[in-house]
């Protein structure tokens, strides 16, 4: 079972700005004084030792995550990260190129979760089959609307790939080869859905993005659904102050993720759906505050807290 992140941002694409790039460069050069940078190996080691916010960027693309084994590919959301996924599928760099059927589950239809679809190149091939799943009524119509001629030059229905659209009910369990996919509604404007993917050995990945846990929906209602997950991918868009100011926006914090993970027996928590307003330094700060919170509140609980970045891969 493999997990890969193709887009980790919330709300809208947020590429590095020229100023942000220059600041990174300045900070890296400052830290390089007196370091051994004689050959490529020592340069790589120097980069590896940099703080995360300098050695990399968390990435600017919106939500897209894959879960796969040798034979089956599940795609969670079609934010702009799906464009690179499509290119790597076609080039054979990612996934078994003999398998031409992919399964795309939408958490919901907000733009940051669908607007990479027009740029997902596999739609242009007639030997490829795409199975679309979502809980939202008439979602085929809304995906189609996004590619109405007023908005985009090429319609979804005109694309030669084979397409199947399945509207899901809350209790449905979808079988994709060795995987079973369960779902649970989240508190989000017009609704969002979390997905739990379980393989035949019982390994579990939960994808829970775009969810708010406040008075209306308390986080303990989700403990059973998250229970025992190897990985919980969690909406960590805000810090506490921002959450207080953005009641009913439908998002959460890393600390609520820590509480949920510990109380549900989760092994690894992955912070996801980073705020488009935050640069890499702010995202790092949010990550370190989550680690501090975990150490202070649950010192003896063995929970790995990880921050999602574009391109991150995990095998389990």
Q: Which residues bind Zn ion (CB under 5 A)?
A: 10, 110, 112, 210
Nearest CB to Zn ion, comparing residues 63 and 66 = 63
163 token code pair: 């397409």
Nearest CB to Zn ion, comparing residues 11 and 72 = 11
Residue 13: CB minimum distance to Zn ion, A: 12
φ, ψ of residue 34 to 5 degrees: the values are: 80, 0
Residue 79: CB minimum distance to Zn ion, A: 8
Residue 63: CB minimum distance to Zn ion, A: 6
Our measurement of the distance from residue 194's CA atom to the centroid of its chain's CA atoms, rounded to an integer in Å, reads 11
Strand order in the sheet with 174-176: 174-176, 179-186, 192-198, 204-208, 231-235, 268-272, 304-307
Nearest CB to Zn ion, comparing residues 24 and 251 = 251
Nearest CB to Zn ion, comparing residues 1 and 257 = 257
Nearest CB to Zn ion, comparing residues 210 and 310 = 210
Residue 14: CB minimum distance to Zn ion, A: 12
Nearest CB to Zn ion, comparing residues 110 and 274 = 110
Nearest CB to Zn ion, comparing residues 76 and 269 = 76
- 194's enclosing H/E stretch is strand 192-198
Residue 3: CB minimum distance to Zn ion, A: 19
Residue 15: CB minimum distance to Zn ion, A: 17
Residue 167: CB minimum distance to Zn ion, A: 19
**Shortest Cβ contact with Zn ion: which residue?**
110
Nearest CB to Zn ion, comparing residues 112 and 212 = 112
Residue 250: CB minimum distance to Zn ion, A: 6
């Amino acid at each position: 079972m493999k997990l890969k992140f193709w887009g980790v941002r919330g709300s809208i694409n947020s590429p590095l700005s020229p100023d942000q790039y220059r600041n990174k460069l300045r900070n890296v050069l400052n830290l390089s004084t007196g370091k051994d940078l004689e050959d490529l190996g020592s340069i790589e080691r120097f980069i590896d030792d940099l703080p995360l916010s300098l050695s990399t960027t968390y990435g600017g693309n919106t939500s897209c995550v894959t879960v796969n084994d040798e034979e089956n590919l599940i795609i969670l959301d079609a934010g702009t990260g799906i464009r690179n996924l499509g290119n790597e599928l076609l080039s054979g760099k990612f996934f078994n190129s003999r398998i031409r059927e992919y399964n795309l589950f939408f958490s919901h239809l907000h733009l940051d979760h669908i607007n990479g679809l027009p740029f997902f190149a596999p739609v242009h091939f007639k030997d490829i089959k795409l199975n679309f799943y979502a809980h939202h009524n008439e979602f085929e119509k809304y995906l189609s609307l996004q590619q109405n001629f007023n908005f985009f030059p090429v319609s979804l229905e005109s694309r030669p790939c084979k397409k199947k659209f399945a509207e899901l009910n809350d209790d449905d369990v979808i079988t994709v080869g060795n995987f079973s996919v369960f779902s649970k509604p989240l508190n989000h404007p017009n609704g969002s859905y979390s997905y739990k993917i379980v393989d035949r050995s019982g390994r579990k990945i939960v994808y829970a993005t775009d969810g708010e846990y406040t008075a209306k929906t308390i986080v303990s209602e989700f403990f059973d659904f998250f229970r025992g997950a190897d990985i919980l991918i969690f909406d960590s868009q805000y810090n506490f102050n921002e959450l207080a100011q953005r009641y009913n926006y439908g998002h959460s914090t890393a600390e609520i993720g820590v509480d949920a993970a510990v109380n549900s027996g989760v092994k690894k928590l992955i912070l996801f759906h980073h705020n488009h307003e935050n640069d890499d330094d702010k995202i790092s700060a949010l990550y370190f505050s989550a680690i501090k919170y975990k150490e202070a509140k649950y010192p003896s609980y063995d929970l790995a807290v990880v921050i999602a970045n574009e391109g991150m891969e995990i095998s389990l």
